[in-house]
Homo-oligomer: A and B are copies of this chain.
Amino acid sequence: MPFEGLQYPTKPYSKVNRYDVRASYALRTIHELVNTSPILQVSFTIPDSPFPMMLPMIGQMGSFARPSSDTGDVLELYLHGYVSSRIINLSRKESSDKAGEEATGLPITIGASHVDGLVLSLTPNSHSYNYRSAVLFGHAELVTDNEERLWAMELITNSVVRDRYRHTRVPPNNAEMQSTSILRVKIASGSAKIRSGMPSDEKADLEDEALLDRVWTGVVPVHYTFGEPIPGPYNRLDKPPAYLDEFVRDSNQDAKDIAIEAAIKAMKLKPKANLED
């Protein structure tokens, strides 16, 4: 096994309990899944409801203290969301309630899932997806420092389109700085689950000649595609700028390659002694 670098500690709530997917606790693997996920699902409990809240948000891993850190380093998650007041008010409250304790902030869970393929086998039960899924657990606090907020806004904007930030009207003005809420999540633990490769069927079915002659088996690759940029009503440029065209082209090629590689590479089985989970 190649050296994977730093690993998150395995906690009862973060342990992957399933034998037929590859679990990973490597920071690099988990952080890259989060960074390449266009939307993150953010979950947290609220008072007086048995149901956790769930909000789609945009986010990116980074380190304000060490901006040159790479994805395998210890990083925080910076979140920017469309519905933010509830989570932010809760976060404020938790921080002040627990000031002095080790972990301040609102406990939240963040999910990032990529679908790489439809895995079509001989039987319905063996059908599956190729996917890469990460979950992070941590404590969220509002970023109050203006310099850190600016840095996070650039980080997050450039995660939507590579190198976009400096091509827009920056820096944000006072009103924009006031209205932008950024959460910083200190990560407590995390895990990833990855399924790749071709279908896998039971021996009895693989010996059924008539079945093999009848059922198509294999993988349909799945990936995101960016279409041709569509100019808006007040756009004046006669064509999209090079950085945008290159981003669209590179992203599409990468996404397609990842899905096809996931389909054709050998599935790494790690059977566990205890299969009850």
Which of A's residues lie within 8 Å of B, judged by CB?
12-13, 16-18, 20-21, 38-39, 41, 43-46, 48-54, 56, 58, 82-83, 85-86, 107-111, 113, 115, 118, 120-125, 127-129, 131, 133, 135, 137, 153-154, 157, 160-161, 164-165, 167-170, 172, 176, 179-180, 188, 193, 195, 198-199, 201, 205-206, 208, 211-237, 240-241, 244, 248, 256, 259-260, 263-264, 276-277
B165 and A232 contact, CB distance less than 8 A = no
Which of A21, A50, A180, A201 gathers most chain B CB within 10 Å?
Answer: A50
B12 and A49 contact, CB distance less than 8 A = yes
B39 and A160 contact, CB distance less than 8 A = no
B230 and A219 contact, CB distance less than 8 A = yes
Number of copies of this protein chain within its complex: 2
Given A13-B49, A124-B153, is A232 in contact with B215 using a C-beta cutoff of 8 Å? Answer: no
- What would 8 more interface pairs be, CB under 8 Å, given A120-B160, A169-B215, A216-B244? A38-B129, A83-B193, A86-B277, A124-B165, A125-B153, A212-B236, A217-B235, A230-B263
B41 and A41 contact, CB distance less than 8 A = yes
Q: How far is the CA of A126 from the CA of B141 in the complex (A)?
A: 23
Q: How far is the CB of A127 from chain B (nearest CB, A)?
A: 6
Q: How far is the CB of A34 from chain B (nearest CB, A)?
A: 13
- Residue A226 contacts which of B220, B227, B232 (CB distance < 8 angstroms)? B220
A18 and B83 contact, CB distance less than 8 A = yes
Contacts of A52 in B (CB 8 A): 43-45, 52, 109
Given A16-B83, A124-B157, is A56 in contact with B248 using a C-beta cutoff of 8 Å? Answer: no
Q: How far is the CA of A219 from the CA of B129 in the complex (A)?
A: 30
A219 and B212 contact, CB distance less than 8 A = no
B218 and A235 contact, CB distance less than 8 A = yes
Contacts of A248 in B (CB 8 A): 220
A230 and B224 contact, CB distance less than 8 A = no
Contacts of A51 in B (CB 8 A): 13, 107-109, 137, 188
B198 and A218 contact, CB distance less than 8 A = no
Contacts of A198 in B (CB 8 A): 232-233
A259 and B227 contact, CB distance less than 8 A = yes
Considering only CB atoms, which chain B residue lies closest to A205 in the complex?
A: B169
Contacts of A18 in B (CB 8 A): 82-83
- Residue A260 contacts which of B41, B160, B230, B236 (CB distance < 8 angstroms)? B230
